[in-house]
Every structure is written in structure tokens, then in C-alpha cells.
Amino acid sequence: MKNVAVVGAGLMGRLSALSLHRKGLNVTLFDKDDKKGELSAARAAGGLLTPLGESLTSESWIVEMGFASLSMWPEFLQTLDDWVFFEQTGAVVVAHTQDSGDMHRFNRHLLTHWPQYPGQVLNREQLQQLEPQLSRSFQQGLYLPQEGQIGNRQLFKALQHQLEKEGVQWHCQHPVDDVHQLQQSFDLVIDCRGVGASKQIKDLRGVRGELFQLLAPEVKLSRPIRLMHPRYQLYIAPKPNHHYVVGATEIESDDNSPMTVRSALELLSAAYSVHAGFAEATIREHVSQCRPSFNDNNPQIRVADSLIQVNGLYRHGFLLAPMILDHLMQVVDRMAGAPGVSDSNYLNHFSEGLTFAQLIAGVKS
């Protein structure tokens, strides 16, 4: 196996193309967009790496994979020439009085299911010590020291530079509607089109997400703040140079038209209630995009002959990417019959379209 096509230069496409190129394969990357990637979910994202924050609504193996990936990011980032913002200084969960029951429930859930990652319940004074500028209206908080975040747009750009520097062929503005056609001219095709593959992958859908990019020089928060909310998982995430991401909504729709007034009101009121200084912030961007999601909201790698589909990363793309990439490389090694890699039942697991949970269980046994 020598010539590989990677279709889609979003998060998984860029990571896969670089890793395959570094394995010595001749990689060609195709995307319908330009290199800035404004049509991707990856560029729209908030870059939160918060496995515990996801644990209420995700299966436990997602949380485990999230922690494993968190520990893999720093080593991967060192292989890039450009600096990418990454930190693991924890996240703070707060709730307004009317939602405080949700926060207590969340804490009980963590104590029951994730005692190995202990959080810390904070009273008002402790909360003020940790985040002095947080609104004084919060009487209690929960500090989760293991949570992290990444500069997703910096990563996106850094991957672009790295792919260019290492000489990977990249065909921009080159939509691929039928990946099977590429199978005729490439030894292996990796489909990373995200929501763009939904015409060919019937159980794939888009889940709309909206967020704001704000510039707020008057606000000084040092770690992501999660505000309990009845409908969404709302985060206010500080990025370098007084930039903040406020997001994200989650709506069962594949519509990626501009943000609605309702979402704008909800997101900005949430930010203002966390810190009044957001009133003077400037709106740099409002973003709406769809997250590629299977029915169970779990990611999958599907293998059929010389086609591998990597999709369904839902709201966990950055959270899980290093682990998914690692599995993908193992699949490619087995397909290529790489020396020292035993075939076992590994590939069969994927060809049967099993989820990662089943795969991990299958490989362990």
C-alpha cells in the first residue's frame, strides 16, 4: 500500500493526513473548502477537553478515552513547529440558584461513577480565591482539576503549516461526493468528511451548535467556567489575549445558518451572569456549525475493502482525537500488513461496524 487519499481536511482529515505521511505513505488530501476550513466543525469548536463535563450525557468509555487523549495531546503538539495553546488547569462548575439542584446531581454522579478523578466542592470564599473575578452571586462551585482545553483554531492552522512544510499534497476546493470513485485510483481512501458524508452514510446526522468568540479585556477568568443550564452545556472558556469562547448550544438540526436571536440572548446572558465585564466585550464572531453525529452520538471507524470511514465525533472531536487517530493508525497498519503487527480479530471488529466501546472490549478479551 502506497497511495492514500484523505477526504476532508477538518480535524480528523488533517491529523490523519499528517500521521499517514509520517508513516511514509504518499498522501493526497482533498477538501471542498479552502485551507482556512470555515466549513468544518473543527474551526467552529470551543476546544474544550472536559471528560468529566461530558460524563453525564456520555457513555463511560468516552470519558475514559477523553482522559487518555488528554494525556496524549502534549506529546503530539510537540511534533508541530507552531505553538498551540493547551492547558490542563481544571474547570469550575457553577449554577444559579434555580439550577443548583442540577449541580448537586452532577456532583453526586461524579462521586459515584468517577471517584478516581476527585472534584472539590467550593464555598463562596474558596470560589473567589480560585476565580476572583467570578460573579459574587454564586454561593457554591465545583472545581474539577483534571479538565483541559486546546486552542482549536491554532491547532488547525498549525496542522496546515505542518502539512505544507512536510510536503503533503492538498487539493482545496475539491469536493468529493463519491468516495468510492477514488478507490479506483488510490490504494486506500480515508473518508473524514464529517457531516459532508451524510448523503453516503445514512445513519449520520448533523447536530447544530452555536457559539460566540468575544474579546473581553475587562474580564480575567483563568480556566473554563461551566454554567449549569437546563438545555445546554454552557462554557465560558478563556483563550489567550483576552479572547473568550462562549458556547455552545446543541440543537437537533442540520441547519448551519447564522445564529438565532434566541441562542444569542441565552449565550450572552449566561456570559454576563458569570462576569459583568462581558457587557463591554466586543463580539469578534458568532459561529454556527453542525457536529457530525451517529444515532448514539458515539464515534466510529468503519472499514470496507480499501475504504475507511472515520466519523460521528459529535461534540467530542478534540476530546477524543488522539485516541481515535491512534486506533486509525492501528487499522491502517493491519491493512498494510505492517511487520510486527498481528492481524488478530482487530480488523473484523471494524468491518462489522462496531463502536469503540465494543472494539475496546473485544480487543481486551
Ligand X SMILES: Cc1cc2nc3c(=O)[nH]c(=O)nc-3n(C[C@H](O)[C@H](O)[C@H](O)COP(=O)(O)OP(=O)(O)OC[C@H]3O[C@@H](n4cnc5c(N)ncnc54)[C@H](O)[C@@H]3O)c2cc1C
Figure out which of the listed residues 143, 318, 346, 350 binds ligand X, where binding follows CB under 6 A.
318
Q: What minimum distance in Å lies between the beta carbon of 39 and ligand X?
A: 4
How far apart CA 236 and CA 271 sit, in angstroms, is 7
Residue 13 makes contact with ligand X by CB under 6 A: yes
**With respect to ligand X, which residue has the nearer C-beta, 65 or 274?**
65
Residue 35 makes contact with ligand X by CB under 6 A: no
**With respect to ligand X, which residue has the nearer C-beta, 141 or 292?**
292
Contacting residues for 111 by C-beta, under 8 A, at least 6 apart: none
User: For 82, which DSSP code?
Assistant: S
Residue 12 makes contact with ligand X by CB under 6 A: yes
Dihedral sign (CA 169, 177, 35, 43): negative
**With respect to ligand X, which residue has the nearer C-beta, 9 or 95?**
9
The grid cell for 352 is 462489522
Residue 315 makes contact with ligand X by CB under 6 A: yes
Residue 53 makes contact with ligand X by CB under 6 A: no
User: For 172, which DSSP code?
Assistant: T
Binding mask 195-234 for ligand X (x = CB under 6 A): -x------------x-x-----------------------
Contact present, 299 and 292 (Cβ < 8 Å) = no
Pairing assessment for the beta strands 3-7 and 26-30 based on DSSP bridges: parallel
Residue 192 makes contact with ligand X by CB under 6 A: yes
User: What residues numbered 282-301 form the site for ligand X, per CB under 6 A?
Assistant: 289, 291-292
Contacting residues for 327 by C-beta, under 8 A, at least 6 apart: 301, 356, 359
In degrees rounded to 5, what are phi and psi of residue 59?
-70, 155
Candidates 19-27, 85-93, 169-177, 265-273; binding stretch for ligand X (CB under 6 A) = 169-177
**With respect to ligand X, which residue has the nearer C-beta, 28 or 40?**
40
Candidates 30-38, 106-114, 137-145, 270-278; binding stretch for ligand X (CB under 6 A) = 30-38
How far apart CA 105 and CA 40 sit, in angstroms, is 34
Q: What minimum distance in Å lies between the beta carbon of 365 and ligand X?
A: 29
How far apart CA 219 and CA 238 sit, in angstroms, is 9
β-partners of residue 310 are 301
Contact present, 322 and 74 (Cβ < 8 Å) = no
Q: What minimum distance in Å lies between the beta carbon of 274 and ligand X?
A: 17
User: What residues numbered 331-360 form the site for ligand X, per CB under 6 A?
Assistant: none
Q: Tell me the residue nearest to ligand X as measured from the CB.
A: 10
Residue 313 makes contact with ligand X by CB under 6 A: yes
Contact present, 29 and 193 (Cβ < 8 Å) = no
Candidates 160-168, 222-230, 311-319, 330-338; binding stretch for ligand X (CB under 6 A) = 311-319
Residue 39 makes contact with ligand X by CB under 6 A: yes
How far apart CA 140 and CA 93 sit, in angstroms, is 9
Residue 238 makes contact with ligand X by CB under 6 A: no
The grid cell for 73 is 495531546
Q: Is 61 helix (H, G, I), strand (E, B) or coil?
A: helix
Q: Which residues bind ligand X (CB under 6 A)?
A: 7-13, 30-33, 37, 39-42, 44-48, 175-177, 192-194, 196, 209, 211, 247-248, 289, 291-292, 311, 313-319
